[in-house]
Amino acid sequence: MTTAVSILPEQQLAVLNAAYRRAVGRKRLRLLLELVIFAAALLLAAIGAEVNLRTLFTHFGNFFSYFDRILTLDTGQRVWTDVGEWLWGWRKWLKMLGETLLISYVGTLIGATLAFCLNFFAAENTSPAPWLRFTVRRLLEFARTVPGIVFALIFVIAFGLGPMAGVLAIAIHSTGALGKLFSEIVENADMKPVEGIRSTGASWLSCMRFAVVPQVTAGYASYALLRFEINVREASVMGFVGAGGIGQELVVAIRKFYYSDVSAILLTIIITVFIIDITTGWLRGRLFGGEART
Amino acid sequence: MTGPHEVDARQLRARYPDIFDRPASARLAMPAMIFAAFAILIYGLVDLDFSPSRFVAGLSQLGWISLMMIPPDPGSSLPIYLKALGETLSIALLGTTLAAVFALPVSLLAARNVVPSSLLRFPVRRVLDSIRGVDTLIWALVWINVVGLGPFAGVLAIAVSDFGAFGKLFSEAIESADQKQVEGIRASGGSPLHEIRFGLLPQVLPVIAGQVLYFIESNTRSATIIGIVGAGGIGLQLAEQIRVLEWQKVSFLILMILIAVAAIDFVSGKLRFAIIGRRAVA
pLDDT in tens, B98-142: 899 999 888 888 887 777 777 888 888 888 888 887 888 888 888
pLDDT for res B124: 85
Report the gap between the CA of A179 and the closest CA in chain B (Å): 18
Q: Judge whether B148 and A56 are in contact, CB under 8 Å.
A: no
CB of A273 less than 8 A from some CB of B: yes
Checking if the pLDDT of B280 tops 60, the result is: no
CB of B49 less than 8 A from some CB of A: yes
Q: What's B70's DSSP letter?
A: P
B31-40 tens-digit pLDDT? 888 888 888 8
Q: Mean of the pLDDT values across residues B216-228?
A: 84
CB of B202 less than 8 A from some CB of A: no
Q: Which of B137, B73, B260, B162 is nearest to A150 (CA)?
A: B137
Q: Which of B224, B209, B260, B210 is nearest to B136 (CA)?
A: B224
Pick from A34, A35, A233 the residue to mutate for testing the B interface (most B CBs within 10 Å).
A233
CA torsion, ordered B202, B207, B209, B214, to nearest 10 deg = 180
Q: Mean of the pLDDT values across residues B244-258?
A: 88
Q: Judge whether A91 and A106 are in contact, CB under 8 Å.
A: no
Phi, psi of A71 (to 5 degrees): -100, 15
CA neighbours within 13 Å on the CB side: how many for B215?
Answer: 26
pTM: 0.79
Instruction: Report which residue type is found at B92.
Output: A
CB-nearest partner of A149 from B89, B146, B228: B228
Residues with Cβ within 8 Å of A224's Cβ and at least 6 positions away in sequence, in order, are: A108, A112, A178
CA pair distance A179, A166, nearest whole angstrom? 19
Q: Judge whether B238 and B224 are in contact, CB under 8 Å.
A: yes
Q: Which of B92, B115, B109 is nearest to B213 (CA)?
A: B92
The secondary structure of A84-145, three-state, reads: HHHCCCHHHHHHHHHHHHHHHHHHHHHHHHHHHHHHHHHCCCCCCCHHHHHHHHHHHHHHHH
Pick from A31, A34, A43, A50 the residue to mutate for testing the B interface (most B CBs within 10 Å).
A50
Position A293 confidence tier, pLDDT thresholds 50, 70, 90: very low
> Which residues on neighbouring strands pair with residue A72, listed in sequence order?
A78
Q: What is the mean pLDDT of chain A?
A: 85
